[in-house]
């Protein structure tokens, strides 16, 4: 009984039940607020608008999370008798000092907001930074994460926005040179290329009718026939792989030779 009374007396303290109430309300407000933000921003008129809104949701959610942390800390301190008014006033002075010490961080925060407001790039866009090309997978207040096709992830400070090239807002022009043996008849090859273009057109993501551009080069060991097609930037690598598969399949079917490097080995014979 004494233990039970002790536990009840402990729980009856303002600092204990008050802390529990503050944390409970804080969690409820955070969860409901996050869902409300997602619901408000969850619709768009086109794919690019949807990506933009998805990015804005992440950014606003991050800001909302930090604001909730600050409010919860102030509420808890006030519960335990700390003069939060004086604390806020002193935080203003500390903030000014930190502002000078954390200039780069502040630049990152401002740049993060600028990226969204100016539509520089959004989550899902394909960008290039210093030769590193990949998809934007996360845009935070301080950093942006870019994922390469091989799985590598680059964490980029938002203040480096001026060095990022966005290649997603335009369609990609993919050109493929098809190496073909010299002995193959041009008419036969071009008829086969027409079939290749018809199959490439059926690949999901190809934007315009593929085009045969003609013979682009008479190389040392082959004739190069060039085709071209347009597709979304983020899908160009997969679509190119699909197109190459179509080329190889139809060339094999029509028995058209694709030359490859061969090495001849001569054995010395003594007379």
Query: What percentage of the chain has pLDDT greater than the value 90?
Result: 24
Residue 89: predicted pLDDT: 63
Q: Are 180 and 257 in contact (CB under 8 A)?
A: yes
Give the CB-side neighbour count of residue 33, counting CA atoms within 13 A. Answer: 16
Cα 104 from Cα 96, distance rounded (Å): 14
Instruction: Tell me how far apart the alpha carbons of residues 153 and 143 are, in angstroms, rounded to a whole number.
Output: 12
Cα–Cα–Cα angle for 139, 140, 143, nearest 5°?
Answer: 90
pLDDT tens digits, one per residue of 179-223: 999 999 999 999 999 999 999 999 988 888 899 999 999 988 899
Question: Are 143 and 155 within 8 A, CB to CB?
Answer: yes
What is residue 206's DSSP assignment? B
User: According to the model, what pLDDT value does residue 270 have?
Assistant: 58
State residue 232 phi and psi, 5-degree precision. Answer: -65, 140
CB within 8 Å of 34: residues ≥ 6 apart: 61, 64
Structural domains in the chain, CATH included, are 7-101 (1.10.287), 117-166 (2.30.30.60), 171-253 (3.30.70.100)
Percent of the residues in the chain that have a pLDDT greater than 70, as a whole number:
65
Q: What is the mean pLDDT of the chain?
A: 76
Radius of gyration of the chain (CA): 31
> CA angle, corner 185, sides to 182 and 190, nearest 5?
110
Least confident of 49-63, 99-113, 137-151, 216-230: 99-113
Run of H or E residues at 88 = helix 84-101
Nearest one of 155, 128, 160 to 140, comparing CA atoms: 155
Q: What pTM, to 2 d.p., does this model score?
A: 0.48
CA-to-CA dists, residue 35 to 28, 40, 57, 64, 206, angstroms: 11, 9, 10, 12, 36
Would you say 112 and 158 are in contact if contact means Cβ atoms under 8 Å apart? yes
């Amino acid at each position: 009984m004494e233990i039970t009374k002790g536990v009840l007396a402990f729980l009856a303290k303002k600092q204990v039940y008050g802390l529990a109430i503050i944390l409970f309300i804080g969690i409820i407000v955070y969860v409901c607020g996050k869902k409300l933000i997602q619901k408000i921003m969850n619709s768009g008129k086109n794919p690019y608008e949807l990506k933009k809104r998805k990015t804005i949701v992440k950014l606003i959610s991050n800001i909302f999370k930090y604001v909730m942390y600050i409010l919860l800390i102030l509420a808890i301190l006030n519960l335990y008798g700390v003069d939060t008014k004086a604390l806020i006033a002193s935080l203003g002075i500390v903030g000014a000092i930190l502002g000078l010490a954390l200039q780069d961080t502040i630049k990152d925060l401002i740049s993060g907001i600028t990226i969204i407001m100016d539509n520089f790039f959004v989550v899902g866009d394909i960008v290039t930074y210093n030769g590193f090309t990949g998809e934007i997978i996360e845009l935070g207040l301080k950093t942006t994460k870019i994922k390469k096709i091989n799985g590598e992830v680059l964490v980029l400070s938002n203040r480096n926005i001026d060095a990022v090239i966005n290649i997603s807002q335009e369609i990609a022009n993919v050109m493929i040179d098809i190496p073909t043996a010299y002995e193959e008849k041009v008419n036969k090859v071009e008829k086969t290329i027409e079939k290749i273009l018809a199959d490439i057109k059926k690949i999901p993501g190809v934007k315009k009718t593929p085009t045969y551009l003609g013979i682009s080069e008479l190389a040392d060991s082959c004739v190069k026939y060039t085709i071209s097609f347009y597709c979304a930037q983020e899908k160009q690598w997969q679509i190119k792989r699909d197109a190459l598969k179509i080329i190889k399949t139809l060339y094999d079917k029509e028995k058209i030779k694709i030359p490859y490097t061969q090495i001849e080995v001569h054995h010395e014979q003594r007379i």
